[in-house]
């Protein structure tokens, strides 16, 4: 897909709206103030009043129209707004993955990873309805919670509009200068482990222009999960810079042009595990202190999207073109990693994705809404492995202490095309049926495609009871940025040789997803819900860390089964608000059919004829929180995370679970008022107040590279000033 083709639909839509704009009057001062000014035809007779909308009203109308482009009939959704984010212990400084952990069925993992309903990653991020392709980094958060007005986590049986990444859709609506007025905010969060996180935002509008810009810097001595239970990690400093911008222009009362852009530039030291014993000799050296290893990783992500949203006749539309670039570079401690692992690799990965997206919604009479659209992605991915290894015999034993340099690189080009059509049918006052068909095609080494039917039903049983059910057929191509095909034969006769080359090319996953649930309002304060799901999978995709670099690679099981049950409860009344989520799940797979060279022969032999738990399976997961306003300026809050433990090796691969964990966080916020300075917001947070040391990973399991522990107790103070 050439870049010129990416712009065709946007250019056509711009041309159409330019003609329309010439006939649309600009909002007058009277319109802005809400005054009705009689029109005069030159004869002195008053004419019917025509009131132009203010820029704020136009923006609100377009926001409502954009929301109508994206239905959720039959799926499950959980909404977290900016108010709920500010009530978290770290407030708007909370990393994005920690925000999403407040939703049901979301399991935390190392390196900031998330698993929703038994999937490894496979999340689709949308900003204002536009798909932003995922980045490579396994633990660097690319998005900032300060940009969020609200975020919806959609999962279950999704309508035909959603595809490709289907574990969940993270649908973000950004803050708007039209809504906020003219102003800004500056602040800082500081505390334990050398944490320093200054931030600044500015927003505003000028007639038909609006903007929201934010940026922050983070420095900490606890950048990645500690591989030991110690209070302070060894060699774990991080520096991170993130920014985001949304600039919009109202072409006319029915059309808006927006530019979305963002970047993340993150640097990480790789934390060390002291007390390890070298396994290999290097020249005349036989000893190396593992606490002195100096390995580092850097991650860069940047994206830009130009989106045109509006109305043509009765049809609402949004057309966008965009590009995302993401890269990871891992620099090893060459001597140290050679002595401990027998290989030291400079690992690089880069991926540039160019995208085009168009969504449309047309009302068809009083009871039908037809939605349809297309999506295209063109990706160029590159991976490099500049490795130092030792010579070895057929048994893998070192035969020389002088390292050998082997360079292996790879370039991939992937194309993805998708189209969908669906009808939302309102059947009376109680029933809504959404049925549709989606087609996806993915081309890499070969072409894979699928037609996927979708069906979702919502029954408004009473004013307080809503029942939903759905079925979706899913097609999930491998994440191109995670594919690192290599010429494995280059490493024959070295300490990095593998026993089974296997199939290098990951396959697209295909699954049948069933979901049903009920939501019940209890009075004006309580809402409770129960949701059940089951997924039958062929070519189940999983990801693992193979080697020292903290990046993941994709592989497939021949088949898998995933099922679970979720419970949610929310309370909001007066000064008190609270939420509670609990879920039980099971995720299993059988027979690894791609990238077999990454696994031990005995593990492959067992998995060939036996189902095993996926490494990210967690039987029980829960989260919850409570927040109470003592007065208009002071609030107390607490939240928690609980997990029964991810998998580790037992008698069979992934055959046991790590111990259960519980993390309790507390916070206190107060707004100080000063005569000349104005209001100053402060927030004190204590994370893991019980200082319980818990292990997320112990280094064993299919695709698990190293042990990682959860955070120890930390105290943080945030100070924020709006202007």
Taking 80 as the threshold, does the pLDDT of residue 57 lie above it?
no
pLDDT at 286: 85
Taking 70 as the threshold, does the pLDDT of residue 610 lie above it?
yes
Taking 80 as the threshold, does the pLDDT of residue 489 lie above it?
no
Q: How far apart are CA 158 and CA 470, in angstroms?
A: 8
pLDDT at 117: 93
Of 543, 538, 478, 476, whose CA–CA distance to 506 is shortest? 478
Taking 70 as the threshold, does the pLDDT of residue 9 lie above it?
no
pLDDT at 110: 82
What does the block give as tokens for 307? 């989106």
Q: How much of the chain exceeds pLDDT 70, in percent? A: 90
What does the block give as tokens for 364? 């068809």
Q: How far is CA 627 from the centre of its chain?
A: 26
DSSP string across 640-699: EEEE---EE-SSSTT-EEPPPEEEEEEEEEEEEEETTTEEEEEEEEEESTT----EEEES
> Which has more confidence, 324 or 704?
324
DSSP string across 427-452: ETTTEEEEEEEEEEEEESSSEEEEEE
pLDDT at 244: 95
Cα end-to-end span (Å), the chain: 45
Mean local confidence (pLDDT), 112-120: 88
Q: How far apart are CA 275 and CA 290, in angstroms?
A: 6
Mean local confidence (pLDDT), 271-288: 91
Half-sphere exposure of 392 toward its Cβ, with a 13 Å CA cutoff?
20
Of 511, 595, 615, whose CA–CA distance to 559 is shortest? 511
Choose from 136-140, 141-145, 281-285, 447-451 the range with maximum mean pLDDT: 447-451
Taking 90 as the threshold, does the pLDDT of residue 302 lie above it?
yes
pLDDT at 671: 95
Q: How far apart are CA 66 and CA 359, in angstroms?
A: 10
Q: Considering only 22-31, 89-98, 446-455, 592-601, which range has the smallest mean pLDDT?
A: 22-31
646 by DSSP, 3-state: which?
coil
Rg of the chain on CA atoms, in Å:
27
pLDDT at 486: 59
Do 407 and 428 meet the contact criterion of CB atoms below 8 Å apart? no
Q: Where are the beta strands (DSSP E) in 523-660?
A: 526-538, 541-544, 553-573, 576-592, 611-613, 620-629, 634-643, 647-648, 656-657
Mean local confidence (pLDDT), 297-302: 93
Do 145 and 95 meet the contact criterion of CB atoms below 8 Å apart? yes
Maximum alpha-carbon separation in the chain: 104
Q: Over the stretch 504-543, which tens digit does the pLDDT of each residue have?
A: 778 999 999 999 999 999 999 999 999 999 999 999 999 8
**Across the chain, what does the average pLDDT equal?**
87
pLDDT at 337: 92
Strand partners, 295: none
User: Exposed, middle or buried, 520 (CB in 10 Å: 0-12/13-18/19+)?
Assistant: middle
pLDDT at 553: 77
Taking 70 as the threshold, does the pLDDT of residue 548 lie above it?
no
pLDDT at 487: 64
Q: CA distances (Å), 96 to each of 68, 408, 587, 720, in order?
A: 25, 35, 25, 19
Taking 50 as the threshold, does the pLDDT of residue 33 lie above it?
no
Of 451, 442, 454, whose CA–CA distance to 417 is shortest? 442
Confidence of residue 30 (pLDDT cuts 50, 70, 90): very low
Q: How far apart are CA 413 and CA 446, in angstroms?
A: 11
Mean local confidence (pLDDT), 86-108: 92
Taking 90 as the threshold, does the pLDDT of residue 469 lie above it?
yes
pLDDT at 597: 80
Q: Over the stretch 192-248, which tens digit does the pLDDT of each residue have?
A: 999 999 999 999 999 899 999 999 999 999 998 999 999 989 999 999 999 999 999
pLDDT at 40: 40
Do 599 and 702 meet the contact criterion of CB atoms below 8 Å apart? yes
Put the strands of the sheet holding 75-81 in their side by side order. 75-81, 148-156, 168-174, 123-127, 130-132
Phi-psi region of 156 (alpha: psi -120 to 50; beta: other; left: phi over 0): left
Cα three-residue angle 296-298-301, rounded to 5 degrees:
165
pLDDT at 547: 65
pLDDT at 42: 38
Confidence of residue 24 (pLDDT cuts 50, 70, 90): very low
What does the block give as tokens for 90? 């770290």
Do 142 and 306 meet the contact criterion of CB atoms below 8 Å apart? no
Mean local confidence (pLDDT), 331-337: 93
> Which has more confidence, 259 or 8?
259
Taking 80 as the threshold, does the pLDDT of residue 705 lie above it?
no
Of 249, 374, 372, whose CA–CA distance to 308 is shortest? 249
Report the relative pairing of strands 707-709 and 714-722 from DSSP bridges.
unpaired
Taking 90 as the threshold, does the pLDDT of residue 307 lie above it?
yes
Q: How far apart are CA 120 and CA 591, in angstroms?
A: 17
Q: Over the stretch 321-332, which tens digit does the pLDDT of each residue have?
A: 999 999 999 999
Domain ranges of the chain: 3-722
Mean local confidence (pLDDT), 482-493: 72
Q: Over the stretch 550-591, which tens digit does the pLDDT of each residue have?
A: 667 788 999 999 999 999 999 999 999 999 999 999 999 999
Q: How far is CA 407 from the centre of its chain?
A: 33
Taking 80 as the threshold, does the pLDDT of residue 366 lie above it?
yes
Q: Which CATH architecture has domain 3-722?
A: Beta Barrel (2.40)
Taking 50 as the threshold, does the pLDDT of residue 48 lie above it?
no
Query: Could you tell me how many residues make up the chain?
Result: 723
Confidence of residue 445 (pLDDT cuts 50, 70, 90): confident
Do 538 and 510 meet the contact criterion of CB atoms below 8 Å apart? yes
Of 562, 577, 472, 460, whose CA–CA distance to 521 is shortest? 460
Cα three-residue angle 8-10-15, rounded to 5 degrees:
95
Backbone angles phi, psi at 715, to 5 degrees: -115, 130
Mean local confidence (pLDDT), 460-467: 94
Q: How far apart are CA 118 and CA 109, in angstroms?
A: 12
pLDDT at 599: 85
Q: How far apart are CA 8 and CA 258, in angstroms?
A: 17
């Amino acid at each position: 897909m050439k870049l010129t083709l990416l712009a065709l639909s946007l250019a056509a839509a711009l041309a159409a709206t330019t003609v329309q704009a010439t006939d649309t009057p600009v909002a007058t001062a009277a319109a802005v103030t809400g005054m009705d000014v009689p029109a005069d035809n030159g004869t002195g007779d008053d004419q019917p009043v025509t009131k132009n909308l203010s820029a704020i009203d136009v923006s609100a109308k377009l926001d409502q129209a954009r929301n109508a482009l994206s239905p959720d009939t039959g799926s499950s959704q959980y909404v977290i707004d900016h108010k709920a984010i500010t009530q978290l212990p770290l407030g708007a400084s909370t990393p994005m993955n920690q925000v999403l952990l407040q939703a049901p069925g979301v399991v935390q993992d190392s390196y900031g990873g998330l698993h929703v309903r038994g999937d490894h990653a496979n999340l689709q991020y949308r900003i204002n309805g536009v798909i932003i392709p995922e980045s490579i980094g396994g633990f660097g958060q690319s998005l900032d919670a300060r940009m969020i007005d609200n975020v919806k986590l959609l999962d279950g049986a999704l309508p035909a509009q959603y595809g490709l990444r289907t574990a969940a859709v993270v649908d973000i609506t950004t803050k708007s200068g039209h809504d906020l007025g003219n102003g800004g905010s500056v602040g800082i969060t500081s505390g334990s482990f050398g944490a320093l996180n200054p931030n600044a935002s500015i927003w505003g509008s000028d007639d038909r222009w609006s903007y929201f810009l934010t940026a922050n810097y983070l420095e900490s001595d606890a950048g990645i999960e500690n591989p030991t239970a110690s209070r302070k990690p060894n060699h774990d400093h991080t520096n991170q810079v993130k920014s985001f911008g949304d600039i919009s222009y109202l072409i006319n009362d029915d059309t808006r042009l927006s530019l979305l852009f963002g970047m993340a530039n993150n640097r990480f030291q790789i934390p060390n595990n002291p007390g390890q014993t070298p396994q290999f000799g290097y020249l005349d050296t036989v000893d190396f202190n593992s606490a002195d290893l100096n390995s580092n990783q850097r991650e860069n992500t940047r994206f830009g999207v130009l989106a045109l949203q509006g109305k043509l006749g009765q049809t609402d539309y949004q057309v966008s073109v965009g590009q995302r670039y993401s890269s990871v570079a891992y620099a090893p401690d060459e001597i140290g990693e050679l002595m401990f692992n027998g290989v030291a690799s400079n690992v690089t990965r880069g991926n540039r994705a160019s995208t085009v997206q168009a969504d449309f919604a047309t009302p068809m009479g009083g009871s039908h809404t037809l939605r349809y659209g297309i999506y295209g992605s063109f990706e160029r991915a590159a991976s490099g492995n500049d490795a130092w290894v030792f010579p070895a015999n057929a048994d893998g034993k070192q035969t020389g202490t002088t390292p050998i340099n082997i360079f292996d690189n790879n370039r991939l080009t992937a194309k993805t095309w998708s189209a969908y059509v669906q009808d939302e049918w309102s059947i009376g006052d109680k029933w809504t049926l959404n049925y549709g068909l989606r087609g996806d095609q993915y081309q890499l080494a070969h072409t894979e495609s699928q037609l996927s039917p979708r069906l979702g039903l919502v029954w408004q049983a009473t004013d307080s009871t809503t029942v939903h059910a759905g079925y979706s057929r899913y097609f999930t191509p491998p994440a191109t940025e995670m594919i690192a095909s290599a010429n494995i034969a280059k490493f024959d006769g070295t300490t990095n040789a593998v026993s089974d080359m296997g199939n290098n090319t990951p396959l697209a996953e295909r699954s049948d997803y069933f979901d049903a649930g009920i939501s019940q309002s209890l009075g004006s304060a309580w809402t409770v819900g129960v949701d059940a799901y089951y997924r039958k999978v062929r070519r189940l995709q999983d990801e693992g860390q193979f080697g020292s670099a903290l990046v993941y690679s994709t592989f497939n099981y021949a088949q898998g089964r995933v099922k679970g049950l979720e419970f949610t409860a929310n309370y909001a009344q007066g000064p008190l608000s609270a939420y509670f989520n609990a879920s039980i799940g099971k995720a299993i797979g059988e027979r690894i059919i791609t990238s077999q060279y990454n696994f031990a022969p005995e593990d492959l032999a067992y998995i060939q004829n036996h189902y095993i738990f996926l490494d990210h399976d967690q039987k029980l997961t829960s989260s919850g929180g409570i927040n109470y306003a003592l007065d208009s300026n002071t609030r107390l809050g607490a939240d928690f995370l609980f997990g029964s433990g991810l998998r580790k090796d037992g008698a069979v691969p992934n055959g046991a679970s790590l111990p259960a964990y519980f993390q309790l966080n507390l916070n206190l916020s107060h707004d100080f008022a000063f005569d000349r300075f104005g209001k100053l917001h402060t927030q004190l947070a204590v994370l893991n107040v019980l200082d319980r040391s818990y292990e997320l990973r112990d280094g064993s399991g299919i695709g698990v590279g190293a042990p990682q522990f959860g955070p120890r107790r930390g105290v943080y103070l945030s100070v924020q000033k709006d202007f």
